[in-house]
Structure 1
Amino acid sequence: MSATEIFLLAMLLIFTVPFLVWRLGRTEYFAPLVIVQIIMGIVLGPGVLGAAFPEYHRFVFNADVVKTMNGIAQWGVMLFVLLAGVELDLKKAWQYRRESAVTAGLSLGMPLLCGCAAALVLMSYPGWMGAKAATWQFTLGTGMACAVTALPVLVLLLEKLDVLRQPMGQRILRYASLDDIAIWGVLALILLDWERIGRQLGFIVAFAVLTVLFRRLMARLRRDDRWYVALAWLIACAFGADWAGLHFMVGAFLAGVVMDADWFGQEQLDALFRNVLLVLMPVFFLSTGLRTRWDLGGAMGTYAVFVGAALLLVASVGGKLAGAHLAGRMLGWKSGEASVIGWLLQSKGLIEIIFANILLDKQIITNETFTALLLMAVGSTMLTVPVVHPKLHRARHTNLVGQASS
């Protein structure tokens, strides 16, 4: 088979297997299509299918095919996160900056503390800490993995629950975006890359200055021209953020945050959102799983890995809920708001897997720890819709979601 035919075969698997599992298995309530795509990416990856059928896996998902899919995936998620940034109302973000800072800080800090405590428990047993990790690196890295919120998956869940453009959804998007920026900054500290920290400060200053010029330019352009300039701005911001060590998705989100939706028209933005979600995002969800190696049969054994995953899941979910409830008490939220916000913010998705992959590559964690974090990420994401959906249903009856007191 030619390289093109092999690539098309891989793409056929990506678009058909998760859809068939989702549709025929009727998993919509407990596992929406996005979650099925994440799980199928892991199943089709080297840890499951590759282990069972190594020759087949090397043939279909060879290096050239994976490299091509990674390019498509990166472009797709950049567009998707850009649109998520456009959806965020920057004026309200500034208006409610105190609430956003308090909630984001607590929703990141509490699971971080709980995750660090879980890491200390794991460290009392051999086989969890990586060969090149200092104690504080393993502790902080594991704790931050428990604090991650998956912004692309969160946007999809907010859209599915029909709250993305409502006050509740906007609030959650503000909290998650602040946490997302902080996460990559902390990663630079964990990796002891002081040059990156300097780059990050430089990127933030340059972004602030260029944003003023960019907004003045966009205000003077015709609507059709704005799309081309917006895409160039997206690429430049993503490049700058990735060069600074903040991850290209942070740059893509910031690029969208400083754009106004009325520059383009809401109908066109909605059409682009649907098309990106249909055509490009499945490649992103599955391609990350295809790069994921995990181990259930190592020296520690399957039982220990699942126990570790359960401990990390409790730390992650419990920490997010504790942070949200503490913020709710401090800020005087209505009854039930903290629970909904905490459960949505605890969804991990692929960002946690990307974060854990970096820790594994740097030998800060072991394969067993990575597997436990992977299981925790999948479990936390699958819990989100079944728990939040009935809470939102009850909230709508008390006008919880529609209140603009955010």
Structure 2
Amino acid sequence: MHAMSPTEIFLLAMLLIFSAPYAVWRLGRTDYWAPLVVVQIIGGILLGPGVLGALFPGYYAFVFSPQTIGSLNGIAWWSVMMFVWIAGIELDLGEAWRQRRETTVTASCALLVPLVTGSLAALLMLRFPGWRGPQGATWQVVLGIGMACAVTALPILILLMEKLEILRQPLGQRVLRYASLDDVAIWGVLAIILLDWERVGRQAGFFIGFTIATLLIRRLMPRIPERDRWYVSLVWLAACGFAGDWAGLHFMVGAFLSGVVLDARWFDQERMDQFRHTILLAVMPVYFLSTGLKTQWDVGGTTVFAGAALLLVASVTGKLAGIGLAGRILGWKKGDALTIGWLLQTKALIMIIFVNILLDKQIITNETFTALLLMALASTMLTVPMVAPRLRRAERIGQR
């Protein structure tokens, strides 16, 4: 019998990654309530050690060997960095500064209110055993769960807004501004939870160095041909991702910031669109699946599902209440707060990464991780069904 080479095993894994979720999504026609990205994340979880690895350990160990997973992780990291980098470029930084009061007030309310509701849910859960990890202090578990309820998944949000055709509209740019501030905040909170004061110092050093480097890159880019800007930008992306991860801010924060400080007018818009769609088609599925493959969870019966339901209520109501508060303070027109709130409560990838770290540090248990994971998937699946009808209604009203 022919023994498969590492290359053949890797390509077998790629075949599963691209074919299985797509077949479920297309044949099951799940796009409205479960976009392809959600199906890909769920597929990664089912193909991971918690399901496939438990049912067929030999097959799982053969296909998803450490060497294969290492290769997949490399593709995944670079793909999501490029995707978030493009999102940063498309964010109008000048408009963000002009609207700084609105952006700051909204981002603060969108983060703090669900942080409070999530923390209250965590305190309720901690009255019962099985939620606190062996290395987790009460304040670490409460703050970690609260922050998991407050976070918005920027890469998923961008995908969903593109699907809803609002990414480049004023509404989409507003949402992108609010979410980007909160995404930066989560990694700072994580450093505090982990009591990694060395990283807090590194973060200060990162922002100082990043500011100086930004001044230099902004002087360089207009002086070189457009075709060279793409290559130089990728060098800049890699450098910022490395520096952000070294500082403890996570490489995706560095990637997003590397794009934010570049001007969209330096790049041909049509080429930018083609580049983004190529990334979505060719490499982002690896990131979605590889994230699921890293999950380790054991379903602990009805208690875990009850915990997930509690966290979903705390997360969604907290986010909607926070955005509603911001809308009242800023005098938004009727309906905006609910639409923006439902968009910003999107979870999935960023939250899964966040709670994976808490699980690795034994601050939370497998049961807590499972409840948070289920909450994140349910939260993400709610977004399009709740937002799409509101956008259609607003469009009909506008046409009148």
Q: Under a length normalisation based on structure 2, what TM-score does the superposition of the two structures give?
A: 0.98
Rounded Cα–Cα distance in structure 1 between residues aligned with 2:376 and 2:40: 14
Counterpart of 1:227 in structure 2: which amino acid?
A: W
Rounded Cα–Cα distance in structure 1 between residues aligned with 2:291 and 2:260: 25
Instruction: Give the superposition deviation at 1:398.
Output: 3.0
- Equivalent residues in 2 for 1:125-136 (5 A)? 125-136=128-139
* Residue in 2 that maps onto 1:384: 383
Instruction: Give the superposition deviation at 1:71.
Output: 0.1
Percent sequence identity over matched residues? Answer: 67
Structure 1 residue matching 2:303: 3-state secondary structure: helix
Whether 2:47 is the aligned partner of 1:44: answer yes
Structure 2 residue matching 1:399: 3-state secondary structure: helix
Rounded Cα–Cα distance in structure 2 between residues aligned with 1:264 and 1:396: 31
Structure 2 residue matching 1:278: 3-state secondary structure: helix
The count of corresponding residues between Structure 1 and Structure 2 is 396
Rounded Cα–Cα distance in structure 1 between residues aligned with 2:367 and 2:73: 25
Instruction: Give the superposition deviation at 1:397.
Output: 2.3
Rounded Cα–Cα distance in structure 2 between residues aligned with 1:315 and 1:212: 42
* Residue in 1 that maps onto 2:106: 103
* Residue in 2 that maps onto 1:253: 256
* Residue in 2 that maps onto 1:316: 315
- Equivalent residues in 2 for 1:6-405 (5 A)? 6-296=9-299, 301-399=300-398
Deviation by residue 1:97-139 (Cα, 9 ceiling, x = unmatched)? 1100000000000110001000000110011011111111011
Rounded Cα–Cα distance in structure 1 between residues aligned with 2:34 and 2:323: 24
Counterpart of 1:340 in structure 2: which amino acid?
A: T
Deviation by residue 1:150-177 (Cα, 9 ceiling, x = unmatched)? 0000000000000000000000000000
Deviation by residue 1:349-396 (Cα, 9 ceiling, x = unmatched)? 111111010000011100000000000000000011111110111112
Rounded Cα–Cα distance in structure 2 between residues aligned with 1:11 and 1:231: 25
Rounded Cα–Cα distance in structure 2 between residues aligned with 1:244 and 1:330: 35
* Residue in 1 that maps onto 2:5: 2
Moved more, 201-210 or 237-246: 201-210
Counterpart of 1:355 in structure 2: which amino acid?
A: F
Deviation by residue 1:63-110 (Cα, 9 ceiling, x = unmatched)? 000000000000000000000101101110100011000000000001
Rounded Cα–Cα distance in structure 2 between residues aligned with 1:390 and 1:375: 25
Which 5+ residue runs of structure 2 have no aligned equivalent?
A: none
Counterpart of 1:221 in structure 2: which amino acid?
A: I
Counterpart of 2:87 in structure 1: which amino acid?
A: A
* Residue in 2 that maps onto 1:404: none
Counterpart of 1:14 in structure 2: which amino acid?
A: I
Rounded Cα–Cα distance in structure 2 between residues aligned with 1:143 and 1:166: 31
Deviation by residue 1:172-224 (Cα, 9 ceiling, x = unmatched)? 00000000000000000000000100100111111111111100000101111
Rounded Cα–Cα distance in structure 1 between residues aligned with 2:149 and 2:273: 32
Rounded Cα–Cα distance in structure 1 between residues aligned with 2:393 and 2:328: 20
Counterpart of 1:329 in structure 2: which amino acid?
A: R
Instruction: Provide the alpha-carbon RMSD of the alignment.
Output: 0.8
Rounded Cα–Cα distance in structure 2 between residues aligned with 1:53 and 1:313: 31
Rounded Cα–Cα distance in structure 2 between residues aligned with 1:322 and 1:397: 26
Rounded Cα–Cα distance in structure 2 between residues aligned with 1:256 and 1:367: 36
Counterpart of 1:347 in structure 2: which amino acid?
A: T
Moved more, 73-82 or 204-213: 204-213
Structure 2 residue matching 1:129: 3-state secondary structure: coil
Counterpart of 1:267 in structure 2: which amino acid?
A: E
Instruction: Give the superposition deviation at 1:399.
Output: 3.5
Runs of 4+ in 1 over 2 A off after TM superposition: 397-400
Instruction: Give the superposition deviation at 1:36.
Output: 0.7
Q: Under a length normalisation based on structure 1, what TM-score does the superposition of the two structures give?
A: 0.97
Rounded Cα–Cα distance in structure 2 between residues aligned with 1:398 and 1:352: 36
